[in-house]
């Protein structure tokens, strides 16, 4: 049984200092927290102990994690576990159950020895009744978890997929992997002592400290192998072989991002930093052992391949990675991010092989990714949308050479991408089309004309080209073009109003009685077009407001968050739009996954009859948010009502 004790067994000042950093409890101030401590108890849980059990535990207290970490998961009927998230110090458990007066809807398990501060249910409800800030904070909490519940149901596996642990890299934070404080050695200590400390502590790295305690470097087992190989005196001080400065990463960084950082920085260990203090060290081996088999192995295969045939084969295996992520409940943004990352590396490998084959280009170039590729929102094998931008040649001879080189390079690259499984764009928006293979001046003139002399066709182009991002090559060329676009579109009210009006033309896919508006005929009869009617209005909304307010980001979810952070849309609309978009994207991914498994070409037409009651209700709520974003556009651009 958990061990309970009065919270006063911990110094009150320690607890007050802790709670002053926990939202929304810092709103109470010192005097309010002093009173609250009189009713708080402290409870300890051993590693592996269930704190709350789904469907059985009555939530009688709000729990604030004081020390340790907790994982939340939904138990499956077959004994499987659907991991939801990890929580650590300062985060809470039980608020949803208290407000709903229900049993816990998730299992909460201590993953290490954990201590929680317990606030009685009545006292917690009293705080929310007295404090508007408390009420507002937990109203947002409830809203997010309502959608979360629908997503949980949606993510339940509908076919058995054996992919145990494949989600870990994308859900766990590096702080969850580290279970101990870092080993530290003074810079003046001999190398031999460092070797002994590494062996005794069974670790792969030591932090190196100056006499004043400041961390100045790191020494690893690889450094010790160098000592032997180079015959360095083992009595020499550790500072002689340490690496500096210490490469750090935030405690809350997702493990997958940490692995990418190691690759980018070409290091094998990163120090974990929390609130300005180094609290641990993580190595690539640590993460891979914790993960087991993972998409990271596929990424390493892509980086190592040296032939077109190999990259074709690897590319065809990426849907298997996506499948595991979908069925284990990864958030839509992480799934599309994973797809984008793998596709970007495939593109890099294809273009690198082609460039090696053809020889270096006469001028620097940048491969541009458009549409969903540019927004990092690809799902299953979306059509190619790309272009080629190259530096303005300095003389006619060089211009002719560049044109001839890229006239071969562009079409060949497209053919290789088709062989990788990326279909051609039906509208020929590809680097094989001379129109979309231009020097910088040509692209700049395109954007200038589309913005200053807009016609209906230019508005259509905006939905594709204005979401571009640099994909490969001299990325600064693409970044300069983005800077030019951002500056040029500023204050262009006529063009922006045209974009805003175009967004309003898509009807909300709900009747006045909140029934779904479905296709009336054809092979998609009685189905909802989830892309065009559901997702596109959010994409268009985020695009036009980002252009208006100078936001360079292209991803829809990030655009929405930046618009909210900048105060350009309300926090309430930000939350609702993000949740509505994520839920629809999750439905789309699940639908396309099932079609792919059945050997069908994935599409975006969803039959509402196939959804559960909760999923249908939540989808209707998501569609209803379309009316709110349309109202926001009308207000911002002073468009006529109706």
Using the predicted structure, report yes or no on whether residue 456 has a pLDDT greater than 90. Answer: no
Tell me, what's the pLDDT at 292? 42
Tell me, what's the pLDDT at 460? 76
What is the Cα gyration radius of the chain?
A: 28
**Long-range pairs of 545-554 with CB within 8 A, sequence gap ≥ 24:** 545/569, 545/633, 545/636, 547/466, 547/486, 547/489, 547/496, 547/499, 548/489, 548/496, 548/636, 550/486, 550/490, 552/482, 552/483, 552/486, 554/374, 554/375, 554/376, 554/467, 554/468, 554/469
Using the predicted structure, report yes or no on whether residue 141 has a pLDDT greater than 60. Answer: no
294 vs 556, more confident:
556
The rounded distance, in Å, linking the Cα atoms of 194 and 624 is 62
Tell me, what's the pLDDT at 179? 59
Using the predicted structure, report yes or no on whether residue 297 has a pLDDT greater than 70. Answer: no
Residue 240's pLDDT band (cuts 50, 70, 90): confident
Residue 1's pLDDT band (cuts 50, 70, 90): very low
Tell me, what's the pLDDT at 294? 52
How high does pLDDT run on average in the chain? 84
Residue 243's pLDDT band (cuts 50, 70, 90): confident
Per residue in 237-248, is it b (16+ CB within 10 Å) or e — as a string? bbbebbbeebbe
The rounded distance, in Å, linking the Cα atoms of 127 and 460 is 52
Tell me, what's the pLDDT at 303? 80
Using the predicted structure, report yes or no on whether residue 299 has a pLDDT greater than 90. Answer: no
* Interval 470-497: pLDDT, tens: 999 999 999 999 999 999 998 888 889 9
Both tokens assigned to 637: 């651009």
Question: How much is the average pLDDT of 174-202?
Answer: 82
Tell me, what's the pLDDT at 601? 81
141 vs 505, more confident:
505
The rounded distance, in Å, linking the Cα atoms of 579 and 585 is 10
Domains in the chain: ranges and CATH:
3-154 (2.60.120.10), 174-291 (3.10.580.10), 295-488 (3.30.460.10), 496-637 (1.20.120)
Tell me, what's the pLDDT at 166? 43
Tell me, what's the pLDDT at 164? 38
Both tokens assigned to 25: 């409890």
The rounded distance, in Å, linking the Cα atoms of 57 and 66 is 21
Using the predicted structure, report yes or no on whether residue 147 has a pLDDT greater than 60. Answer: no
Both tokens assigned to 292: 């087991």
Question: 65 with 51: CB under 8 angstroms?
Answer: no
Contacts of 264 (CB under 8 A, 6+ apart): none
Question: Residue 117: which H helix or E strand, with range?
Answer: strand 114-120
Contacts of 86 (CB under 8 A, 6+ apart): 69, 70, 71, 72, 111, 171, 172, 173, 176
pTM of the model: 0.60
The rounded distance, in Å, linking the Cα atoms of 181 and 499 is 54
Percentage of the chain surpassing pLDDT 70?
Answer: 85
* Interval 321-374: pLDDT, tens: 777 667 656 678 778 887 888 889 999 999 999 999 999 999 999 999 999 999
Tell me, what's the pLDDT at 546? 95
Question: How much is the average pLDDT of 156-160?
Answer: 42
Both tokens assigned to 526: 């009685």
Question: How much is the average pLDDT of 295-324?
Answer: 77
Question: How much is the average pLDDT of 273-299?
Answer: 69
* Interval 4-36: pLDDT, tens: 455 556 888 999 999 998 888 888 888 889 999
Using the predicted structure, report yes or no on whether residue 140 has a pLDDT greater than 60. Answer: no
């Amino acid at each position: 049984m958990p061990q309970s004790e009065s919270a006063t067994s911990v110094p009150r000042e320690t607890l007050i200092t802790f709670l002053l950093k926990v939202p929304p409890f810092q709103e109470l101030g010192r005097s309010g927290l002093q009173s609250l401590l009189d009713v708080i108890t402290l409870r300890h849980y051993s590693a592996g102990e269930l704190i709350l059990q789904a469907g059985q535990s009555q939530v009688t207290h709000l729990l604030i994690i004081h020390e340790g970490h907790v994982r939340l998961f939904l138990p499956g009927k077959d004994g499987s576990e659907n991991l939801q998230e990890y929580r650590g110090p300062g985060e809470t458990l039980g608020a949803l159950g208290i407000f709903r007066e229900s049993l816990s809807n998730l299992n909460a398990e201590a993953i290490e020895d954990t201590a929680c501060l317990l606030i009685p249910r009545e006292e917690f409800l009293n705080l929310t009744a007295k404090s508007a800030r408390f009420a507002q904070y937990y109203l947002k909490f409830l809203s997010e978890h309502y959608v979360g519940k629908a997503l949980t149901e949606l993510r339940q596996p509908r076919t058995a997929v054996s992919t145990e642990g494949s989600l870990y890299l994308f859900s766990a934070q590096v702080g969850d992997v580290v279970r101990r404080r870092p080993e530290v050695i003074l810079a003046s200590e001999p190398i031999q002592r460092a070797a002994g400390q590494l062996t005794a502590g069974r670790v792969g790295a030591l932090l190196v400290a100056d006499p004043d305690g400041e961390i100045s470097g790191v020494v690893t087992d690889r450094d010790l192998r160098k000592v032997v190989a180079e015959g360095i005196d083992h009595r020499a001080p550790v500072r002689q072989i340490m690496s500096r400065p210490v490469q750090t990463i935030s405690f809350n960084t997702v493990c997958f991002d940490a692995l990418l950082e190691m690759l980018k920085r070409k290091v094998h260990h990163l120090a974990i930093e929390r609130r300005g203090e180094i609290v641990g060290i993580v190595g690539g081996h640590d993460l891979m052992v914790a993960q087991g088999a993972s998409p990271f192995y596929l990424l390493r295969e892509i980086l190592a391949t040296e032939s077109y045939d190999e990259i074709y084969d690897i590319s065809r295996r990426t849907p298997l990675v996506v499948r595991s992520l979908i069925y284990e409940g990864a958030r839509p943004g992480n799934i599309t991010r994973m797809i984008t990352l793998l596709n970007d590396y495939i593109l890099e490998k294809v273009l690198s092989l082609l460039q090696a084959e053809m020889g270096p280009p006469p001028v620097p170039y940048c491969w541009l990714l458009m549409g969903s590729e540019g927004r990092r929102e690809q799902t299953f094998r979306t059509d190619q949308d790309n272009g080629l931008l190259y530096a303005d040649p300095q003389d006619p001879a060089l211009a002719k050479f560049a044109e001839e080189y890229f006239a071969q390079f562009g079409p060949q690259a497209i053919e290789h991408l088709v062989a990788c499984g990326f279909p051609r764009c039906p509208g020929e928006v590809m680097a094989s089309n001379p129109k979309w293979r231009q020097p910088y001046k040509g692209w700049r003139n395109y954007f200038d004309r589309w913005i200053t002399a807009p016609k209906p066709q230019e508005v259509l182009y905006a939905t594709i080209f204005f979401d571009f991002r640099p994909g490969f090559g001299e990325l600064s060329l693409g970044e300069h073009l983005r800077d030019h676009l951002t500056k040029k579109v500023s204050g262009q009210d006529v063009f922006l109003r045209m974009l805003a009006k175009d967004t309003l033309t898509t009807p909300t896919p709900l009747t006045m009685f909140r029934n779904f508006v479905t296709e009336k005929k054809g092979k998609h009869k009685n189905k909802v077009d989830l892309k065009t009617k559901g997702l596109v209005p959010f994409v268009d909304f985020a695009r036009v407001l980002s252009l208006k307010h100078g936001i360079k980001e292209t991803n829809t979810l990030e655009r929405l968050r930046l618009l909210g952070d900048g105060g350009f849309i309300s926090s309430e609309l930000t939350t609702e739009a993000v949740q509505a978009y994520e839920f629809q994207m999750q439905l789309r991914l699940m639908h396309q996954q099932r079609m792919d498994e059945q050997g069908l070409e994935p599409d975006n037409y969803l039959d509402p009859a196939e959804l559960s009651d909760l999923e249908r209700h939540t989808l209707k709520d998501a569609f209803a948010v379309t009316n709110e974003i349309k109202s926001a556009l009308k207000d911002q651009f002073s468009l006529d009502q109706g």
